[in-house]
Structure 1
Amino acid sequence: MSSRSLSPPKGAIPPVKLFTDEEDKTQEALKTFKCLDECQYANKRLGNAKHNEFMECDCYEEFEDGTNRACDENSDCINRLTLIECVNGLCGSCGDDCQNQRFQKKEYADIAVFQTKLKGYGVRAQADIESQQFIYEYMGEVIPENAFRDRLIAYDEKGYKHFYFMMLQNGEFIDATVKGSLARFCNHSCNPNAYVNKWVVAGKLKMGIFANRKILKGEEITFDYNVDRYGATAQKCYCGEPNCIGFLGGKTQTDAASLLPQNMAEALAVSVSMEKQWIKMKKSEGQKVVKSEGNNINVEFVESLDPPPCERPEDVTKVMSVLLQVEDNLLAKKLLQRLFNIEDDTSLHHQIIKLHGYTCFGKLLQFFRNDLEMEAKLIDFLLMLPKTTKNGIITSHIDKEVDQVKQLHKALAEPCDKLLAKWSDFETYKRITKKDIKEASNRMVDLRRIRLPPGWEIVHENGKPMYYNAQLKTKLHQPPSGSSKTFNTRRQPTNSNANKSSMKRSRLDDGEYERQKLRRLEKEKEAIEKVKEEETRALKLRLEMENQKKSELEKIIAEANKLKDIEREEQAQLQKEKEEKRLKKKNNHLEHKWNKFFASFVPSLLRKYEQQDALSHEHAKQCARDIVKILTSKELKKDGAKAPPEEPSKDKRTKVKQFTASYMSKFLLKYRKKHTSRS
C-alpha cells in the first residue's frame, strides 16, 4: 500500500458522501481480529530506521496552561519537518511531552467502523478532521519477506478474501490480517481523502494515516492502496469515484496506479499528469508498466526523470525527509541531483544543514561506499556548503566518515583533507539550556519565539546567549535584522541615564572607582571560570558516557562473537556426526556386499569336512559364517571404498580355499581335542 493518490478528471467535483446515520459497528469489528497497542516484530532487527542515532531538534520547551507547546505544527521543528518524532529524555531542549509525539501519545482522530454496502467494513470520521491531521497508526505484525510470501500462500489456501499487508521498507511488511488496529478497515479509493506516510519513532519506522484534505464528520476515510494484488484474483473496486479504474490489484491496477509513492513523487517534483503521460506513452509503444516489488516504484520511469533543482525551502524539506529514509540507490541519486544543482543560494544550503544535513550526508557516504563517482560528488557538495558551528559535525560523526573515504580512496584524499581542514576551523559552542532561556526571558527576550534568518544560530558564550553567523563571522547581542516572532526588548538607557552614570563616577575618587572596577572584573572572571568548569564537567561526562557506550558495545560484540563461535562448533560437530553416519552406512553397505560375495562359495568348500571329519552341519555353517566375516574384514581393511567383483576370480577362489583349509585345520584340532576330553 502507498499514499500516492490520483486526481479526479478536470472539472469533476464529486459530492462528499456522509455515513452519519449508519450503525456503529466498531465493537462488532473488533471481534474479527486481535487489536494491538503497538506493532509486534518477528525479530528485534525488523522495523529499524536506517540512521541508528537519535536526532535532536533545536526547539525549546514552552509551557502554556500546563502544556508544553514546543514542536507544534506551526514551528520550524527539524524533526517534525523530516518525519521524526521527538522522544522524552533524548530530545533535551524541547522538553518532555512536546507536540511532536503523536504516534507515541496515540493522538488518534475520533473514528468508528461502519458497514458499507459493497466493501464490507469501512471507517468514518466521528468529528471533522483537519487537513494533514494524524488519523491513525497502521499496526500489525512486522515480518520479513520470506514470511510474507508464506502467508500470502497460506491465506489464499484458507480462502481469505481480504488481505491486510502494507510494505514497511525493503524486505519488511506489516501484516494486519490477524493482529492490527482499526486502521486496517480503511478502504481503498481512486480519489482518497487520506494518505499514508512513514515516520521514525524512537528508532523504529511507523506507518501513519494522515488527512489529505479536510474530512467532514460522517465521511468515510480512504487511501489509495497503490499495489499489485495480494491474492489469487483481482477484486472489483467499489469506490464510486469518477476516476475509478474498476479493480484492485492485477494488471489494471498496476497500469493505472501511480509510479511512485506520494512522498517520493513530491520530493522529485513529479506530478500525476507526468505519470499519466508516461504510462500512456508506454502503452502506445505496446510496453508493459511494471513496478519493482522491493520498493514499489517503476525503475524505468525514475531513470527517465531529470528532476529540477530545489528552488524553495519547502522543496529542500521534501527532499531531505525522503533522503533520511532512502534505501534505493537510484532514488538517492535522483534526489541528490536536486540538491547538487541548486544555484548559488546560501539560504537553501543552510536549510539543508538545518534539516539534519550532516547526519544525512554521513549516512549517504556509507550508502555509496563503493561508488567512487558519487562519493566524489558528495565530498564536493559538502565543500561548497556554508560555514556553521562545529556542533552538527561532531554529533553526526560525519568527519569520521570523510576520513574513512580518504583511507579507502586515494584519489579522494586531497578533497577530503581540504574538507576536514575547513571543518577544523569551525567553532564549537555550548548548547542553550533552559536556564539560559529563563535568563533571556527576564531580559524580555523569549529565545523560543525567535525565527532567525538563514545562517544565524543562537549560541552560548561566556554564560550568555548570542546570535552568531559563522559565514559572516558576526556575533550580536540582539536578534539580527530579518528575525521574526520577537518580543519587545527592554529599552536601552537614554542619554540622561548615561549622564547620571557619568556624574556618579565623578563623585567617586579615582581609588574607589578602580577598586569597584577590579571587583567587577573579578566577578566576570569568576563567571567565566565557572562556565569553563561547567563545560569541562559536561565534556568529561560526555566522554564517560561515550566510553561506557563503547564498552557496552564491545561486550555485545564479544558476546555475539562467542555465540557465533559456539554456533560454528555446533555446526562442525553436526557435520562430523553426519559424515560419520554416512561413512558407517557406506561401510555397512560394502560389508554386506563382501559377506554376500564370500558366502556365495565358502560354504561349498566346507562340505568335505562334514563328510570326512564327521563335522556336524551346524558347526560347518558356523565356521562358514566366521570365515566369511574374517575375509570381509580383511578386504575392507585393505581398501574401505572398494566393492567386490560380480564373480570371484580363479586366483581369489584359490586364496580363499587356502585360507579355509588353514582355518579348518586349526578348528578341527581344537574340535577333536575337545570331543576326546569329553569321551
Structure 2
Amino acid sequence: MASSATSSPSLEASGSAVPAQRDFSNEEDKTQEALTTFINLEDCKYASKYIGNAKSSDFMECDCYEEFEEGINHACDENSDCINRLTLIECVNGLCDTCGDNCQNQRFQKKEYADISVFKTKMKGYGVRANKDIEANDFIYEYKGEVIEEDEFRERLIDYDERGFKHFYFMMLQNAEFIDATIKGSLARFCNHSCNPNAYVNKWVVAGKLKMGIFAKRDIYKGEEITFDYNVDRYGATAQKCYCEEPNCIGFLGGKTQTDSASLLPQSYADALGVKVSVEKKWIREMKAKGLKIDKSNGTNINISFVESLSLAACESMDEVTKVMSVLLQIDDEYIGQKLLSRLFMITDESLLHQVIKFHGYRCFAKLLQFYANDIGLLGQILEFLDRLPKTTKNGITSSGIDKKINDLITRDNTLYNKGEELLEKWNSYETYNRISKKDINEISKKATDVRRIRLPPGWEIVHENGQPMYYNAQLQTKLRHPPSGSSKTFNSRTSSRDNLHGFHKKNSNFNKRHRLDDDAYEKIKMKRIENEMKALEKAKDEEKRLLKEKFELENQKKSELTKIIEFANKQKELEREQSIKEKEERAKRRVEKKQVSRSSHIEHKWNKFFASVVPNLLKKYENEHNISHEHTKHCSREIVKILTSKELKKDPSRAPDEEPTKEKRAKIRDFTTIYMDKFIQKYQDKKSTKHA
C-alpha cells in the first residue's frame, strides 16, 4: 500500500489493498463493550466557559455562496476555495451570510464521522478500524473529553497514577489547556499510536471553540487500524512498550527514546514553517552524531534549537500563505508566531500579499497587535508590513477593528505614532462598499452571468453599487461591469443548467457574428440602456432612503429595550465573574489539601526508610542465637519500623528525618529493638513450649 496521499491509488479503483496481516475486518466488533469502559460524550465538557476558546473570538465569515441541488447546500465543499475551510475554521449557520445554512464546512458541528468500530488487538488492548474505505484528508472523528487547565492536568496525572490506571488519554488543546478523555471521552480515545501512522490530529475553530479532529493522513482501506503519532499529541506518566510493528518503530512510548525520536514540531507548525520530515531527521542524526541531547523546550513540543537552525524563506505560493495564516489565526506561541511573521514579511509577490488579505489578514493582524503588545520592535515591523499590503476596500479594515487597535497603540506608545498615523490616514482614503448580499446573488443568478461561479484574479473583489454587482480593483482604481481578464468560471458537473447556459452564450455569439447591427441602431440601443440604468439608479436611491428612514425609527423604538438588555447583561457578567472567582478559590483550596496529604505521606515514607536502614541489621543475630526463622525476623523488622515511624510522626508530623541516623539515634533504636525482641522471644518460646507439652 502506498505511504502517502499523493501516490496512493484511488480507493475505488484499487479495491482492498491492505495487506492481510493489517486487515482486521474479521475481528469481533467490540464497540458496545468498549463504550462501557468510559462515559461517552456528545461534545467536549469544559471545566469553565473561559477555557477552550480560540484566541480570536470574532467569527470569520467566508466568501462562498450557497449552492443548492436536490435540497443539499454544496457550498464550501472539499473542492471549493472556502477561506474558512482552508484556514481550519468551520462556518456557522446564521453567521456566514452568503454561503447559507448547512454548508459542507460543518463536519464537527454535524458530527460527520467516518464509519469506524472498535476491536480487540493482540497486544495493545482496544483499537479502532475503518469499516469502509476512507480517503486522504477525510475527517474521521473528534477527540473529545474534559477540557481542563494545566494545574488540574498535573493533579490528574498523579491521581491516575496512584489509582493504578494503565492508560492515559490526555491531549494538549492549546498552551496550558488539555483534553482529558480518560473517564469521559469518545471512541477516538481508542485510536492507538503508530510510528508510521495513517492519520493525524489537527486543531479547528468551531463556533469560537478549539476542537481536535483526527483526519486521514493517506488513503485508509476497509479493515485497517486507524493510528496517529502520540509523540506530540498524547501524554502519560511512564514509558510503555510500542507494539505498532512498523519498520521504523522506536520501541517505547514516553521516556528518553520517545523524546529523541519525537517530531521536533507539531505538524501544523512544521507545515507553516515549510519544514519537511527529511529536514527533521537529518538534524536529529547530526545532533546524535555530536552526542548532544535532543529535548523539547518548556513543555511546548517545540525544539527551539532546531527552529533556530532553519533558514526560513518567504512564502512562494498560495498554499504556503494559507498554512501560515491558518496557524497565525490560532497562534498561542509567541516564538513560532515571530518566525511565521518573518516568512510573511519577506513576501515581494503582490498576488501573495493579496492572499494575505483574503485569508482574514486584517482580523489576524488585529489579534497579533494585541498578542505582541509588549514587543515594540515587532509591532513596528507589523505596521510596516501592513503599509505594504495592496490597496483594497475599507470594509475588511473596519469590520476587523484593526484601525481602532492601531489608534490605541499609537496613543499608548509615541515611538510608533508616525508609522501608525500614516497608515490610518492611508486607510481612511480607501472606499467603502456594501458587500453583495445573498438576495442580490439569487437575483443575479437568474441572469446569464452568475457571480458565484467567477474566480477573480488577485486584487479584484465583487462589490455592490446601486443595486448592481461590480468588479472592483482598489489598487488600479478600476470598476467593471463584467469580469476582468484573467477571471475563470468555477463551474462543475453537478448542475446541468450550466452546460445549457454555455450553449446559450455560444449560440448568441454566432448569431451576432452573422447579423451585425448598423451604427445608428447600436447608438439607439446604447442610449436606451443608459436611460434604463439612470431609472434603476433613481429607484435604488429612493429605496435606500426609505430603508434608512425605517431603520432610524426602529432604532428609536428599541433604544430603551437595548438599555435594559445592557444592564441585565452587566449584572449577569458580574455574577459570572463572582462565580468564577469562587470556583478558583475552591480549586486552590483542594490543591492545598491534596498537597498536605501528599507531603504527609512523603514524610512517613522517609521515616520508614530511615529506620529500615538500621533495624534489619540489628535483628540478624536473633536468627542464630534464638533459632528464629528469617520470616519471623522480617515480620518483627516491619513492625518495629512501623512503631518507630508512628512515634516520630506523633511528635511532629511535618518534620522529616536526617539523611543518616546519628550515634545517639542508633543507640535509641537499638534499645527499643532489644526491648521489643525480648518480649517477642519470650512469647515465641512460651508458645513453642506449650506446643511441645
Do these two structures clear the TM 0.5 threshold for a shared fold by scoring above it?
yes
Paired with 2:325 and 2:144, the residues of 1 have a C-alpha distance of: 26
Superposition deviation, residue 438 in structure 1: 2.2
CA contact (8 A) 1:228 1:251 kept: no
CA contact (8 A) 2:171 2:234 kept: no
> Is 1:321–2:326 an aligned residue pair?
yes
Residue of structure 2 in register with 1:631 after alignment: none
Superposition deviation, residue 288 in structure 1: 2.0
Deviates more, 1:225-234 or 1:550-559: 550-559
**Percent identity of paired positions between Structure 1 and Structure 2:** 61
Deviates more, 1:355-364 or 1:480-489: 480-489
Paired with 1:437 and 1:497, the residues of 2 have a C-alpha distance of: 32
Residue of structure 2 in register with 1:391 after alignment: 395
Paired with 1:160 and 1:219, the residues of 2 have a C-alpha distance of: 28
Higher relative contact order structure (alpha carbons within 8 Å, sequence separation ≥ 6): 1
Residue 37 of structure 1 is aligned with which of 22, 36, 42?
42
> Is 1:371–2:375 an aligned residue pair?
yes
Residue of structure 1 in register with 2:444 after alignment: 440
Paired with 1:113 and 1:245, the residues of 2 have a C-alpha distance of: 25
CA contact (8 A) 1:170 1:295 kept: yes
CA pair 382-543 structure 1, distance change in 2 beyond 3 A: farther
Residue of structure 1 in register with 2:150 after alignment: 145
Residue of structure 2 in register with 1:670 after alignment: none
Does the residue aligned with 1:442 lie in a helix, a strand or coil? Answer: coil
Number of matched residues? Answer: 552
CA pair 77-446 structure 1, distance change in 2 beyond 3 A: same
Paired with 2:395 and 2:542, the residues of 1 have a C-alpha distance of: 22
> Is 1:133–2:146 an aligned residue pair?
no
Paired with 1:175 and 1:436, the residues of 2 have a C-alpha distance of: 47
Superposition deviation, residue 190 in structure 1: 0.3
Once the two structures are superposed, what CA deviation does each residue of 1:330-368 show, in whole Å capped at 9, x if it has no partner? 10000001100112x111001000000000000000011
Paired with 1:311 and 1:215, the residues of 2 have a C-alpha distance of: 31
Residue of structure 2 in register with 1:89 after alignment: 94
Residue 541 of structure 2 is aligned with which of 528, 549, 554?
528
One-letter identity of the residue aligned with 1:529: D
One-letter identity of the residue aligned with 1:90: L
Once the two structures are superposed, what CA deviation does each residue of 1:579-626 show, in whole Å capped at 9, x if it has no partner? xxxxxxxxxxxxxxxxxxxxxxxxxxxxxxxxxxxxxxxxxxxxxxxx
- The 5 A counterparts of 1:324-363 are 324-343=329-348, 345-363=349-367
CA contact (8 A) 1:463 1:528 kept: no
CA pair 98-565 structure 1, distance change in 2 beyond 3 A: closer
Superposition deviation, residue 270 in structure 1: 1.0
CA pair 304-551 structure 1, distance change in 2 beyond 3 A: farther
CA contact (8 A) 1:228 1:250 kept: no
Residue of structure 2 in register with 1:179 after alignment: 184
Paired with 1:338 and 1:351, the residues of 2 have a C-alpha distance of: 14
Paired with 1:429 and 1:42, the residues of 2 have a C-alpha distance of: 43
Residue 54 of structure 1 is aligned with which of 55, 59, 65?
59
Paired with 1:480 and 1:225, the residues of 2 have a C-alpha distance of: 49
CA pair 113-348 structure 1, distance change in 2 beyond 3 A: same
Paired with 1:470 and 1:395, the residues of 2 have a C-alpha distance of: 17
Residue of structure 2 in register with 1:116 after alignment: 121
Does the residue aligned with 2:128 lie in a helix, a strand or coil? Answer: strand
For structure 1, the 5+ residue unaligned runs are: 6-12, 507-512, 572-679
CA pair 298-550 structure 1, distance change in 2 beyond 3 A: farther
CA contact (8 A) 2:392 2:473 kept: yes
Once the two structures are superposed, what CA deviation does each residue of 1:166-218 show, in whole Å capped at 9, x if it has no partner? 00011111010111100000000000000000000000000000000100000
**Structure 2-normalised TM-score?**
0.74
> Is 1:427–2:431 an aligned residue pair?
yes
Residue of structure 1 in register with 2:78 after alignment: 73
CA contact (8 A) 1:82 1:321 kept: yes
Paired with 1:135 and 1:567, the residues of 2 have a C-alpha distance of: 35
- The 5 A counterparts of 1:624-635 are none
Deviates more, 1:554-563 or 1:256-265: 554-563
Superposition deviation, residue 329 in structure 1: 0.9
Residue 305 of structure 1 is aligned with which of 310, 313, 319?
310
Residue 472 of structure 1 is aligned with which of 469, 476, 491?
476
CA contact (8 A) 2:172 2:234 kept: no
- The 5 A counterparts of 1:177-576 are 177-227=182-232, 230-343=235-348, 345-485=349-489, 488=502, 491=508, 494=512, 498-499=517-518, 502=521, 521-522=534-535, 524-531=537-544, 533-534=546-547, 556-557=569-570, 560=573
CA contact (8 A) 1:113 1:123 kept: yes
Superposition deviation, residue 537 in structure 1: 6.2
CA contact (8 A) 1:228 1:254 kept: no
Structure showing greater Rg: 1
**Structure 1-normalised TM-score?**
0.75
CA contact (8 A) 2:171 2:235 kept: no
Paired with 2:141 and 2:86, the residues of 1 have a C-alpha distance of: 19
CA pair 55-34 structure 1, distance change in 2 beyond 3 A: same
Deviates more, 1:403-412 or 1:177-186: 403-412
One-letter identity of the residue aligned with 1:48: N
Superposition deviation, residue 533 in structure 1: 4.6
Paired with 2:455 and 2:530, the residues of 1 have a C-alpha distance of: 37
Paired with 2:46 and 2:181, the residues of 1 have a C-alpha distance of: 12
Residue of structure 2 in register with 1:615 after alignment: none
Residue of structure 2 in register with 1:100 after alignment: 105
CA pair 537-381 structure 1, distance change in 2 beyond 3 A: farther
Does the residue aligned with 1:276 lie in a helix, a strand or coil? Answer: helix
Does the residue aligned with 2:347 lie in a helix, a strand or coil? Answer: coil
One-letter identity of the residue aligned with 1:465: P
Does the residue aligned with 1:27 lie in a helix, a strand or coil? Answer: helix
Superposition deviation, residue 248 in structure 1: 0.4
Paired with 2:204 and 2:558, the residues of 1 have a C-alpha distance of: 28
Paired with 1:310 and 1:545, the residues of 2 have a C-alpha distance of: 49
One-letter identity of the residue aligned with 1:144: E
Paired with 2:466 and 2:331, the residues of 1 have a C-alpha distance of: 41
CA pair 389-538 structure 1, distance change in 2 beyond 3 A: farther
Once the two structures are superposed, what CA deviation does each residue of 1:368-404 show, in whole Å capped at 9, x if it has no partner? 1111100000000000000011111111000001111
Paired with 1:228 and 1:53, the residues of 2 have a C-alpha distance of: 27
One-letter identity of the residue aligned with 1:452: L
Superposition deviation, residue 286 in structure 1: 3.1
Paired with 2:472 and 2:121, the residues of 1 have a C-alpha distance of: 59
Superposition deviation, residue 50 in structure 1: 0.5
Deviates more, 1:243-252 or 1:296-305: 296-305
Once the two structures are superposed, what CA deviation does each residue of 1:222-267 show, in whole Å capped at 9, x if it has no partner? 0001149844431000001110000001110010011101111010
One-letter identity of the residue aligned with 1:437: I
Once the two structures are superposed, what CA deviation does each residue of 1:27-79 show, in whole Å capped at 9, x if it has no partner? 11111111111000111111000001111001110101110000001111110
Does the residue aligned with 1:136 lie in a helix, a strand or coil? Answer: strand
Superposition deviation, residue 538 in structure 1: 7.0
CA contact (8 A) 1:228 1:253 kept: no
CA pair 504-395 structure 1, distance change in 2 beyond 3 A: closer
CA contact (8 A) 2:232 2:263 kept: no
CA contact (8 A) 1:389 1:429 kept: yes
Deviates more, 1:91-100 or 1:420-429: 420-429
Does the residue aligned with 1:226 lie in a helix, a strand or coil? Answer: helix
